[in-house]
Amino acid sequence: MTSLGTIAECLKKSSRVVLSGHVMPDGDCLGSVAALGLGLLKLGKEVTLASPDPLPELYHFLPGADRFLIGEQALKGNYDTFVVLDSSVPDRLGPLKELLFRDLVVCLIDHHVGKHDFGHHVYVDPKAAATGEIIQDLLDLLQVPPQVEIASCLYTAIVTDTGSFRYQNTTPLTHRRVARLMEEGVDAARLNVLLFEQKSLLHLRVLQAALQTLDLTPCGRVGWMSVTRETLDSLGAREEHTDGLIDYVRSLRGVEVALLFREIVPGRWKVGFRSRGRVDVQRVASQFNGGGHLRAAGAVVEGEVGAITKGVVEAVLKAMQED
Chain residues that interact with a second copy, rule: CB under 8 A: 164-168, 170-176, 178-180, 182-183, 188-189, 192-193, 196-201, 204-205, 207-208, 211-212, 214, 216, 248, 250-253, 276
Q: Which is nearer to a second copy, 67 or 180 (CB)?
A: 180
The distance of closest approach from Cβ of residue 276 to a second copy in the complex, given in angstroms and rounded to an integer, is 7
Packed helices 148-161 and 27-42: angle between N→C axes, nearest 10 degrees: 160
**Is the Cβ–Cβ distance between 217 and 310 less than 8 Å?**
no
Task: Kindly give the interhelix angle for 148-161 and 188-196, rounded to the nearest 10 degrees.
Answer: 50
Which CB atom, from 14 or from 226, has the smaller least distance to a second copy? 226
Name the residue nearer to a second copy (CB basis): 252 or 264: 252
Give the DSSP per-residue string, 139-184: HHHTTPPP-HHHHHHHHHHHHHHTTTTTSTT--HHHHHHHHHHHHT
- Least distance between a second copy and beta carbon 208 (Å): 4
CB of 105 to a second copy, least distance (A): 36
Residue 22 CB burial class (10 angstroms; 0-12, 13-18, ≥19): buried
Which residue's CB is nearer to a second copy, number 99 or number 130?
130
CA distances from 146 to 175, 180, 222, 263, 320 (A): 18, 10, 48, 47, 51
> Which lies closer to a second copy via its Cβ, residue 117 or residue 183?
183
CB of 246 to a second copy, least distance (A): 12
**Angle between helices 172-183 and 148-161 in degrees, nearest 10:** 150
The distance of closest approach from Cβ of residue 179 to a second copy in the complex, given in angstroms and rounded to an integer, is: 4
Q: How far is CA 257 from CA 27, 220, 320, in A?
A: 26, 10, 9
**Rg of the chain, C-alpha, whole Å:** 21
Helical pair 131-141 and 4-13, crossing angle rounded to 10 deg? 60
Smallest separation (angstroms) from a second copy to the CB of 166: 4
Comparison of 13 and 176: residue with beta carbon closer to a second copy:
176
Shortest Cβ 210–a second copy spacing (Å): 9
Q: Which is nearer to a second copy, 9 or 137 (CB)?
A: 137
